[in-house]
Amino acid sequence: MDAINSSSARKDNLAMIIFVAVVLTAPLWGKLIGAGYPDLLQKFAIFGLFAIGFNLLFGLTGYLSFGHAVFLGVGSYTAAWSFKLLSMNPIPAVIFALLLSGLFAAAIGYVSLKRTGIYFAILTLAFAQMGYNLAYSVLTPITNGETGLRVLRSDPRIIDSAFGVQIEGSPIGSFFGIEMTGYSGFYFCAAMLIVGFYVALRVFRSPFGMKLVAIKSNQTRMEYTGYNPKPYLLTVFIISGMYAGLAGALMVIVDPLAGAERMQWTASGEVVLMTILGGVGTLVGPLLGAAVIKYFENIFSAINETVLQATFDFLPAGLQNFMVAVVHPFVGEGWHLTLGVLFMIVIIFMPGGIMEGIRRLTNWVRRRKE
């Protein structure tokens, strides 16, 4: 399917309405699938944004960045500093995180986009690892190194103190008096997700987006057709980096702590998995991929040996121990093994990810009706 289909205004509006409804009712349907915790729903929204933004670059242009987590880190540190220096209000935190991650993306993108394919991926990875190591070592005054950057009660917060805002207990993001924890924290993230999704939809449906897909399809033809692909690629790289920065900021907004591990290559790899699992180059796929991964992470990583023992209690003792030994590596800390298996199954049987699965299913249902 053409990633840029000439979808009608009616279809797009309908899609947007459904999307908003699904996001806003998440606490309700979340309960049905055992995901009715604000913490988990916040993760859906935050990683959903991260993946949607990543897909704008990877899905539309085919440029695979393997270092997008660096922007997540930049967004987090910026938001934490905004909390420390200015105000516990998430709005300035979001704005500064967008600006700074955009700036970093401009610099990193400018250099990395000098190469394509695997070399581009390696360059972005190198930058991200540099960022990670800098955050751990030289930049300790800014990042607080290994401990991570905390927001303290004694921080200056000049805007808050000018308005006489007092903080009791440990500082928590506060949207004009609404504390950014629990469901109110989720709804703030949800609002950002809706805006982010709408912007992505506009990119997909714009002449700009069509040109990005054309670059993916045949970059040489683009050049001999009168386009300079570089500014297009750099622009979408920056936009994509800003999504990651926003996601990073939201992490701090719902939990005021920023650590360097957010920039590690595993985090960069995770967003690649989310996007591919959901469906590269589709609008909602990456969001689904993010939600599925976070959902299963939540379930599988919570299972420990005691739980397993209880689950297989009905078996004879020998068999019970055997089953526990077999299953144990796939749960708890080892849940990544499960993720690996899940990922392999999806990629082998549905290279187009979850979205392809959904498409096949609807086609099948339609055929059965006829």
- Residues forming contacts to other proteins in the complex (CB under 8 A) are 2-4, 6-9, 202-203, 205-211, 213-214, 216-218, 220-228, 231-232, 235
Residue nearer to other proteins on the CB measure, 8 or 166: 8
Give the DSSP letter string of 212-244. Answer: HHHHHH-HHHHHHTT--HHHHHHHHHHHHHHHH
The pair of structure tokens assigned to 240 is: 């994509």
Residue nearer to other proteins on the CB measure, 59 or 173: 59
Is residue 79 within 8 Å of residue 93, measured between CB atoms?
yes
Residue nearer to other proteins on the CB measure, 8 or 306: 8
From CA 46, how far away is CA 116, in angstroms rounded? 29
From CA 309, how far away is CA 303, in angstroms rounded? 10
> At its nearest, how many Å lie between other proteins and the CB of residue 29?
31
Residue nearer to other proteins on the CB measure, 9 or 33: 9
Residue nearer to other proteins on the CB measure, 5 or 266: 5
Residue nearer to other proteins on the CB measure, 179 or 223: 223
> At its nearest, how many Å lie between other proteins and the CB of residue 8?
7
Residue 156, C-beta contacts closer than 8 angstroms, at least 6 positions apart = 84, 85
> At its nearest, how many Å lie between other proteins and the CB of residue 191?
21
Residue with tokens 């985090």: 267
| Helices then strands, each counted (H, E), the chain | 18, 4
Amino acid residing at 200: A
Q: Which helix (H) or strand (E) holds 258?
A: strand 257-258
From CA 328, how far away is CA 306, in angstroms rounded? 10
